[in-house]
A and B are shown apart, each in its own frame.
Chain A
């Protein structure tokens, strides 16, 4: 019961905060709501017995990425930004589609049957410690995806440099 209450709280607050993030006119406000949302997501991870990921969530997202967002927002012309509408004219159509998708999801998820659970039970994780288990899985079973992820980050760096820094020849 108490765990369901916790989950309900985090889930509801994350949804409300996400709505606040996309509806605020002032980008600084959006970013601040997003900060709060990241903390709630971290709370959700804690609730799922994933302390390490919760810590990473706070350090990387709430710490590093959000600061970068704020820097970018500082470069915007806020006065101009406040004048423009948040949404394009056809947003009611989008809302209808999203709402019907939500309804069909709710209808479908009623017949959800969970699959078999993996070898990593809470007892095992408590015994082995979370970080250790995660590291072991990441560097053995999921070594290949891990390497591809590093290439994706490399491409992101190259892309950022190419698009932002290259001098344009005239």
Chain B
């Protein structure tokens, strides 16, 4: 048997990213200034982004699919890396964790996400997920002298392994039923053999829903998120609140709409309660938080609930609205975390909500930016957060889930309380103590990018929506 050389064109960006991540790992030995490695990692992902456009195609017997859908998500992941590195550079010096491996691990995690977004086979999906997760576990525990960081890594690892077990169990059931792990083959087998409604298929659907809900931090599988978000280094919290969540949605969309597209009525019954519970838990528990990282953890849970509505609607519009939502969320959440990171200085943690009291008087520019990001997270018009929510809700209404949207809007209104509380603290309270801000050109650039995008795409969302709609043609 003569082996056929697979077409390596579609995996070219991933190959380049692997090589560059390995080069960065070695470059750490000779480069003493770790900022340089940060800069190199930004250059690396930019090069990968440049290569993405030429990578369209399917390879390795359908295991790897590089289509518009995956490229859109990959751009979100690359954006995530750039913004994370920009906000990390100064912060990891303060935390004394400025090792070169930090950047390599971020790149490996991103590689895992890119594989997830492109997975046409459940095995690739699982391996990509593990690559992403393993790198993120290590990053969460990077401050190894900090007990909370240890706890975060440990919790994330144990619960993540548990969720992986569910994914594998679901995969094994599907393999037993259909004899394949290829997503398209599963779909045609289910349709061709009348498997819809089979209890084993339902069991497997539930297993997949559990595993993916864990990754996107949807209730009731969200328990890890607040502790991990609080304990992990803040830059990594920002990284994993955007990247793994977007990757989770990428696989959720692909698996549920491609492989299980014919049993949509069944999985909608699983996802609607999950979405409602997620919005409820996220928004209501966030009200009582005093630590801003924990608050944003619950906020991130709530946002997973909103975005799920796009998957539930199951249409092309729904899917593109989820993509838009993840894109919007990347900017507004990263921006909020950039401001939070600025408050961290030598000997001052700055992650308490009270630390924001009177910030507008002492530091007006960060206060204005934080106000923009909080408005966007609330979903107030002229910000990208509003546009994200608007299109997700619209797609759900068009798909006939009016009552779910009404619940979502109510929870969204509740969420205004805890977002606007930060704004109220900043503008209407007197500063208690002088808060020193840690600024650097990198974080300034991150804030400039995120704030411009939040306002710019908030006013003119059509370009990105057109891109998302174009990306899923032929999905």
Selected contact of A155 from candidates B64, B135, B142, B189, CB within 8 Å:
B135
B108 and A151 form a contact (CB under 8 A): yes
B199 and A144 form a contact (CB under 8 A): no
* B123 in the interface (beta carbon within 8 A): yes
* B203 in the interface (beta carbon within 8 A): yes
Q: How many residues of B contact A (CB 8 A)?
A: 49
Selected contact of B64 from candidates A142, A144, A158, A162, CB within 8 Å:
A144
Q: Give A112 to B61 CA distance when docked, in angstroms.
A: 28
For A136, what are the chain B residues with a Cβ–Cβ distance below 8 Å?
1
Given contacts A155-B138, A166-B99, contact A104 B61 (CB under 8 A): no
Given contacts A144-B63, A163-B138, contact A152 B176 (CB under 8 A): no
* A168 in the interface (beta carbon within 8 A): yes
* B131 in the interface (beta carbon within 8 A): yes
Selected contact of B203 from candidates A104, A140, A148, A155, CB within 8 Å:
A104
Q: Give A120 to B2 CA distance when docked, in angstroms.
A: 18
* B379 in the interface (beta carbon within 8 A): no
For B99, what are the chain A residues with a Cβ–Cβ distance below 8 Å?
162, 166
B131 and A114 form a contact (CB under 8 A): no
* A159 in the interface (beta carbon within 8 A): yes
Q: Digit string of A104-143 for contact with B (CB within 8 Å is 1, else 0)? A: 1101111111111110000000000000000010011111
Q: Give A142 to B182 CA distance when docked, in angstroms.
A: 12
B200 and A159 form a contact (CB under 8 A): no
Instruction: Enumerate B95-149 residues with CB–CB distance to A below 8 Å.
Output: 96, 99, 101, 104-105, 108, 111, 115, 121, 123-124, 127-128, 130-131, 134-135, 137-138, 141-142, 144-145
Cβ-closest 4 pairs across A and B: A115-B179, A159-B138, A108-B199, A148-B127
A-B contact pairs, 25 of them (CB 8 A): A104-B203, A108-B199, A109-B203, A110-B199, A112-B176, A136-B1, A139-B3, A144-B6, A144-B60, A144-B124, A145-B127, A149-B127, A151-B131, A152-B130, A152-B131, A158-B104, A158-B105, A158-B138, A159-B135, A163-B141, A163-B153, A166-B99, A168-B144, A168-B145, A170-B96
Q: Which residues of B contact A (CB under 8 A)?
A: 1, 3-4, 6, 11, 18, 25, 60-61, 63-64, 96, 99, 101, 104-105, 108, 111, 115, 121, 123-124, 127-128, 130-131, 134-135, 137-138, 141-142, 144-145, 153, 175-180, 189, 193, 195, 198-200, 202-203
Instruction: A144-B6, A152-B130 given; name 12 further pairs at CB < 8 Å.
Output: A104-B203, A108-B203, A111-B200, A113-B193, A136-B1, A144-B63, A152-B131, A155-B108, A158-B104, A158-B138, A159-B137, A162-B105
Q: Which residues of A contact B (CB under 8 A)?
A: 104-105, 107-118, 136, 139-145, 148-149, 151-152, 154-156, 158-159, 161-163, 166, 168-170
